[in-house]
Structure 1
Amino acid sequence: MNVDVPADRLLITVAPTGAETAKEDCPQLPTTPEEIAETAAACEAAGAAMIHIHVRDGEHKPTLDLGLLREWVAAVRDASSLVVQLSTGGSVHDPLDNRLRVLDAEPDSCSLTMGTTNFGDDVFSNPWPFVCELYQLSQEREVVPEFELFDLGQVHALSRLLTKYGLPYGGRVHCDLVMGVPGGMNGTTDALVAAVRDLPADVTSWSATGIGRSTLSVALASLSKGGHLRVGMEDVLTLARGVPVEHNSQLVSRVADLGRIAQRTPMTPAEARVFLGIKGQ
């Protein structure tokens, strides 16, 4: 951990929307600039330090429209101090060129998935040339990437990328283990331990995301290994069987409480900027 951030701090990232769930199926999903601004403020108050954003259009459909990307980034920054991370994954149907243009919206951070993954019945395409181009673009634009790792092959691909192109902007290497996606690694303690064991030596921090029913088991495993957490309605829509999530802040509050039991204090956005090597807002 960065010497300027106390060792007991817990980075909580909230992923409030995603690209998979339809607004009509989940009306409480934040899909407008006003809703994302309110969500950002409430989640910061609950303990989040970073927000991972997928943008929706006026019909609540996933979009990579640059004007809307910029509008959502501005809305979050006006309402909160959260580190703004834009998804470069978009939806599984977005062309690679459009995904590269996400960095034109000038986020603090961006997701960078380290390989192609079967994503349920779809394919989340991340061919190696695209990964390399996006990484070099993030270095050029001074945007800090979060390396998304869906399986052990992607853990090893991260070593290959860092060896070829060096460290990201800011000099820190933060990755997120995305666990429980049908087609990716299991959302289990054993899978998490295996992935953490194989992380490159250059990795300075890591978090874990448990999809669906694996949310709590992955959160507990990550805390037990000294990792950080990502939660949100992109990843899970229930608090327990038959109990829907009404607001993303509920998910943030729950893991903040778990962190405190493990004697971990939620990181502030200012601490997260130092921790991740992000330039000042």
Structure 2
Amino acid sequence: MSQGFITVAPTGAEVSKSDCPPLPVTIDELVAAATDCQAAGASIIHVHIRDDDATSTLDLQRLKDTVSALRESCDLVIQLSTGGAVTDAEPDRLAVLEAEPDMASCTMGSVNFGDDVFFNRWGFVRRLHQAMQDHGVVPEYEIFDLGHLSNLARLLEKDGLPHGGHVHVDFVLGVPGGASGDPATVADMTDAVNRYLPEGTTFSATGIGRTTMPVMLSSVAAGGHLRVGLEDTTSYRRGERAESNAQLVRRAADVLRIAGREVATPADTRRLLSIA
């Protein structure tokens, strides 16, 4: 039976606590969400942090404290966001790696992000990739549009394989300004992975908002993995707010099982992604 792993993205940088009361914004809330999500079937936690006012931050000491608290409380693979908010400066984004996560995100190009621009110039992408190699951090390459996959192929050709040698990408679909969150887009991206990237490359996919279920089902059908969480959608179904991140993880685990796939444990996922 093939395995599928689940990444939970519990917080993000955009959703407010007032609009989504279950959103974990303190370290204690994040730790509680992590333990609940691991019990529900998650293997990886994609971490954004907030300051005392619940505003997105890349404060390095807070990141270090968060990584330490998560390591003490759960076995999840800790993946820090190097994206932060769209306004964060490149030096602060690079400094995230000093918190010594297991993984970190590496976005493969710029993209319109609603009314804003998530800016990832080529020079910075290369610096971030090289810094992850130097720090021994495994990247998850974030793909917001089809061209980002050809960018990744060029990056690997110029700068070599990531730490651990395994390439893993995440399709982030349905962002206003990025690729659509529908089965055809998942199929196009899966085909591009097979054509452009090294044999054995794995992928996960997340659908933003109302695209959550089409992307989830398409990724599972294509042999991919899943990302869910309140960062990506605050609804469970039309007209019904999500109760928690764990509720979204449980649904993803149910989808994997219905498809005849085993829900991977954190240890399984570490082996698959070559995380020491």
SS of residue in 2 equivalent to 1:198: helix
* Partner residue, 1:264: 261
Contact persistence 1:209–1:218 (CA under 8 A): yes
* Partner residue, 2:159: 165
Aligned length in residues: 273
Q: CA deviation at 1:201?
A: 3.2
SS of residue in 1 equivalent to 2:104: strand
SS of residue in 1 equivalent to 2:125: helix
Q: What TM-score comes out, normalization by structure 2 length? A: 0.97
- The answer on 1:241 being equivalent to 2:238 is yes
* Partner residue, 1:54: 48
* Partner residue, 2:275: 278
Residues 183-215 of structure 1 show CA distances to partners (whole Å, capped at 9, x for unaligned) of 100001111111111113315210001000000
Superposed counterparts of 1:1-281, under 5 Å: 8-199=2-193, 200-202=196-198, 204-279=201-276
| Mapped partners of 1:206, 1:11: distance in 2 | 10
SS of residue in 2 equivalent to 1:52: strand
Residues 68-114 of structure 1 show CA distances to partners (whole Å, capped at 9, x for unaligned) of 00111112111110000000000001011100000000000000000
* Partner residue, 1:3: none
Q: Which amino acid aligns with 2:62?
A: L
> Please, which moves more after superposition, 239-248 or 112-121?
239-248
SS of residue in 2 equivalent to 1:257: helix
Residues 128-187 of structure 1 show CA distances to partners (whole Å, capped at 9, x for unaligned) of 000000000000100000000001110110100000011100010000001000010000
Q: CA deviation at 1:24?
A: 1.8
| Mapped partners of 1:251, 1:74: distance in 2 | 25
Contact persistence 1:12–1:230 (CA under 8 A): yes
| Mapped partners of 2:69, 2:213: distance in 1 | 30
Q: Which amino acid aligns with 1:43?
A: C
| Mapped partners of 2:21, 2:95: distance in 1 | 29
Contact persistence 1:36–1:75 (CA under 8 A): no
| Mapped partners of 1:37, 1:131: distance in 2 | 30
Q: Which amino acid aligns with 1:241?
A: R
Q: Which runs of 4+ in 1 moved over 2 A?
A: none
Residues 25-49 of structure 1 show CA distances to partners (whole Å, capped at 9, x for unaligned) of 2121000010010001000000000
Q: Which amino acid aligns with 1:177?
A: F
Q: What TM-score comes out, normalization by structure 1 length? A: 0.96
Q: Report the identity percentage.
A: 52
Unaligned runs of 5+ in 2: none
| Mapped partners of 1:39, 1:74: distance in 2 | 15
> Please, which moves more after superposition, 109-118 or 200-209?
200-209
| Mapped partners of 2:179, 2:268: distance in 1 | 30
SS of residue in 2 equivalent to 1:176: strand
* Partner residue, 1:4: none
